[in-house]
Amino acid sequence: MADFFLHAFALVSSPSVLLLILIGVLFGIIGGSVPGFTVTMAILVVFPFTFAMDPVSGVSLMVSVFVGGYSGGIVSGVMLGIPGTPSSITTVYDGYPMALRGEPGRALGIGVAASFIGTVISVAVLVFFGPLLASFSMNFRPWEISALIIFALTLVAGLSNGALLKGMLAAALGLLITTVGYDRNSNLRFDFDLPVMSSGFEILPVMIGIFAFSQLMDNIEKLREEKTARQEVIPDISIPYGRIIRDIASQKVNTVRSSLIGSLIGALPGTGGTVANFISYDQAKKFSRHPERFGTGIPGGIIASEASNSAVAGGAFVPTLALGIPGDLPMAIMMGVLILHGITPGPLMFEQNPVLVGAIYASLLVGAVVMVLCQLLLVRWFARIALIPQQILVPAVLMLCAIGAYALNNNLFDIWVLFGFGIVGYLLWKAEVPLTPLILGVVLGNNLEQQLFRALDLDDSWLTFLTRPLSATFLVLAVISVIVSLYQNRRIQQKMAINQ
């Protein structure tokens, strides 16, 4: 393990990869700091640039966007009082009041330091649990893998804003999209006699179309509604290093607890940074001797928020790398990028591509260091960039999406796929259908079908899925996740009825 990690570290430390990590971190911070842009969008915009790169360079660039993106939300959260990403909502609660009090440098410094510690702890979790989970899942056979994918999809569908039926519909639609074109038996499906349809849809244009269009059009629609009356805080910022070290030292337990919460939640399918952010903030408040001070601009609130959302980065890689099952949207796109580079995430990746796994660990660590340096040196510029209007961002991102889709195979049909799924994604989003299960279905569809029918080829009885203990456990968990979300939906509806 040490050997491949050192080899990977040497590769990541080469000047060209370091430059890419710097660019990735910078772009990630900018992406995270511009309200409405999100980490996922930053990853989508950067991915076409990885096409011509070797896997280590491409993955390092993407991972560093991820690291920068999760820390970028703090900039607009503290300076503008607007969370740059949904995963930094609670940063605003204490970061913005502290900045208004005349201490923006302290608020930013605490947030950046907490982000760094969160990322490092999450890498430790990944390094420890990733191989363990991978070696455990080496025993998985097609029955277990199929059941696990079904469990992951139901879990994500169930957690989709209380819309279980629509979440499951979205997951099934995502799986259906992958059935277009030639299948495992070289038979054509749903090609409608169009030659361009015979090879099916590329994953990335589909994902970008579904996600980017709905998100960008949402931003456009909100432009009219949102006129922020908040006071923007962009004075000269000086970072009080000594004070920040004392602040962090006085919140050691909170920092570690929040980082572990972020890592753990990052590893669970369907949760992600936003959930980690709220749970960690809530826990910090519950454990605090002065819970009433939360929300008034205290270091503990910023630490809880930023340590947890940054720790999601490492945690989210655990199921993606070890099981080949991404837990959330940015990871689904990251997995698409790995597949594009000819790497199939899953238990075998640790055996077949140890250097690449090591490169991911190393990129996360190096990215965290670069993130701290960039944030502390350039924070004033990031705060200004966060003010770029959506009117300029939206056309630019749409254009980059089109070029990214085209550059994938130098194929104009992929732009039409992007456009078509853009319309589908927008309409589904308008109908309040959650898009994360849809994208997860697109990413996992081919694998599910292959494993399902490999299992049935080995033993044509469907009952085998229930007689194998692990596969039965996953299916029971899938049923339980559906029942729990039905129960939660019911409770939400009852509460709404009482409130009305």
Partner 1 sequence: MPTITKDRALALAMLIMVAILYVESGNIRPPTSWQTYGSAMFPQILLGVIAILSVLILLRSLFNSKSSQAHERRTAMQWLKKNGVVLTLFALFGLYALVLPVLGYLVSTMAFMVASLALLLGVDTRRKWIINLGVSVTLASLIYVTFHFGLNIWLP
Residue in 291, 285, 262, 5 with CA at minimum distance from that of residue 127: 5
Q: How far is the CB of 147 from partner 1 (least distance, A)?
A: 15
* Residues 438 and 170: beta-carbon distance below 8 Å: yes
Q: Which is nearer to partner 1, 94 or 414 (CB)?
A: 414
Q: Which is nearer to partner 1, 25 or 169 (CB)?
A: 169
Q: How far is the CB of 29 from partner 1 (least distance, A)?
A: 20
Q: Which is nearer to partner 1, 184 or 230 (CB)?
A: 184
Give the whole-angstrom CA distance, residue 434 versus residue 446. Answer: 21
Residue in 343, 316, 260 with CA at minimum distance from that of residue 63: 316
* Residues 69 and 39: beta-carbon distance below 8 Å: yes
Q: Which is nearer to partner 1, 188 or 385 (CB)?
A: 188
Cα pseudo-dihedral 466, 472, 478, 484, rounded to 10: 100
Q: How far is the CB of 114 from partner 1 (least distance, A)?
A: 34
* Residues 338 and 145: beta-carbon distance below 8 Å: no
Q: How far is the CB of 393 from partner 1 (least distance, A)?
A: 10
Q: Residue 38 carries which DSSP code?
A: -
Q: How far is the CB of 295 from partner 1 (least distance, A)?
A: 33
How many other C-beta atoms lie within 10 A of the C-beta of residue 460? 8
Q: Which is nearer to partner 1, 99 or 169 (CB)?
A: 169
Q: How far is the CB of 436 from partner 1 (least distance, A)?
A: 17
Which residues lie below 8 Å from residue 433, measured CB to CB, with a gap of 6+? 163, 166, 167, 169, 170
Q: Which is nearer to partner 1, 90 or 178 (CB)?
A: 178
Q: Which is nearer to partner 1, 139 or 185 (CB)?
A: 185
Q: How far is the CB of 428 from partner 1 (least distance, A)?
A: 8
Q: How far is the CB of 358 from partner 1 (least distance, A)?
A: 25
Q: How far is the CB of 471 from partner 1 (least distance, A)?
A: 17
Q: Which is nearer to partner 1, 169 or 210 (CB)?
A: 169
Find where tokens 């259908």 sit. 433
Which residues lie below 8 Å from residue 148, measured CB to CB, with a gap of 6+? 140, 323, 325, 474
Q: How far is the CB of 37 from partner 1 (least distance, A)?
A: 15
Q: How far is the CB of 213 from partner 1 (least distance, A)?
A: 8
* Residues 113 and 248: beta-carbon distance below 8 Å: yes
Tokens of 286: 């519950």
Q: Which is nearer to partner 1, 133 or 147 (CB)?
A: 147
Residue in 231, 309, 321 with CA at minimum distance from that of residue 277: 309
Residue in 88, 117, 26, 51 with CA at minimum distance from that of residue 370: 26
Give the whole-angstrom CA distance, residue 258 versus residue 465. Answer: 38
Query: Interface with partner 1 by CB under 8 A: which residues?
Result: 48-49, 51-53, 165-166, 168-169, 172-173, 175-176, 179, 183-185, 187-190, 192, 213, 217, 220-221, 223, 389-392, 394-396, 398-400, 402-403, 406-407, 410, 412, 415-416, 419, 422-423, 426, 428, 430-433, 449, 452-453, 456-457, 460, 493, 497
* Residues 382 and 23: beta-carbon distance below 8 Å: no
* Residues 168 and 157: beta-carbon distance below 8 Å: yes
Q: Which is nearer to partner 1, 59 or 107 (CB)?
A: 59
Q: Could you tell me the CA-to-CA distances from 232 to 301, 384, 449 in Å, in that order?
A: 21, 10, 52
Per-residue burial over 308-346, b = 16 or more CB atoms within 10 Å of its CB, e = otherwise: bbbbbbbbbbbbbbbbbbbbbbbbbbbbbbbbbbebebb
Q: Which is nearer to partner 1, 229 or 392 (CB)?
A: 392
Q: How far is the CB of 403 from partner 1 (least distance, A)?
A: 6
Q: Which is nearer to partner 1, 145 or 394 (CB)?
A: 394
Q: Residue 265 is which amino acid?
A: I
Q: Which is nearer to partner 1, 213 or 317 (CB)?
A: 213
Total length of the chain:
500
Q: How far is the CB of 417 from partner 1 (least distance, A)?
A: 10
* Residues 26 and 368: beta-carbon distance below 8 Å: no
The phi and psi torsions of 227 (rounded to 5 degrees) equal -125, 100
Q: 188 burial class (0-12, 13-18, 19+ CB within 10 angstroms)? A: middle
